Homo-oligomer: A and B are copies of this chain.
Amino acid sequence: MDINQHNRFKNATQKDKAKYMRLALKEAQKAALINEVPVGAVIVKDGKVIARGHNIKEQKKNSMYHAEIVALQKACKKIGDWRLNDCDIFVTLEPCPMCAGALINARIGNIFFGAYDDRAGCCGTLYDLPGDTRFNHRPNVEGGILQDKCGEILVEYFKQKRREIKEQKQKNKED
């Protein structure tokens, strides 16, 4: 593990990190607009956003299309390599086992996430997969960046979903 790679953000302020997380949030909003669970991600290399992605699982009818995976696919294409050591990801929700594993396999440098995920989070909550020294690669992890904003968009989405289901049930009763 090259320590320097992972320390790209060592001296970065929360303001620097928030800048990229806001772009990930923009991606999450795109997901909400198409009725997908609003999670967004951007991948950054040398201070530039090289890939963006949002959850498109329902649209693609494929549970692999989480925001992180969509962004990873684009980043690999852009760089022309599966090794993303020089890249960092900003994602609005703590990665699940699939995404945490994909980020380890891709040898990403840093994982910055927003909201913690009690149900499937594998970057500290249920497991700390990126911190496991038995794997080939150990990305750094920092959670809680713009945590409230990243969480709110999810809470609002599920609230709206429940409202729609309730209205539909009411309508079915009336018909």
Question: Which A residues form the contact surface with B (CB < 8 A)?
Answer: 57-58, 60-64, 66, 69, 72-73, 76-77, 80-83, 96-102, 104-107, 119-120, 122, 126-127, 129, 132, 134-136
Please report the C-alpha to C-alpha distance between residue A82 and residue B104 in the assembled complex, in whole angstroms: 24
Residues of B within 8 A of A80 (CB): 61
A selection of 17 A-B contacts at a CB cut-off of 8 Å is A61-B76, A61-B81, A62-B72, A63-B82, A63-B83, A64-B72, A64-B106, A96-B101, A97-B97, A97-B100, A97-B101, A98-B99, A98-B101, A101-B101, A120-B135, A120-B136, A126-B134
Closest B residue to A98 using CB positions: B101
Residues of B within 8 A of A134 (CB): 119, 126
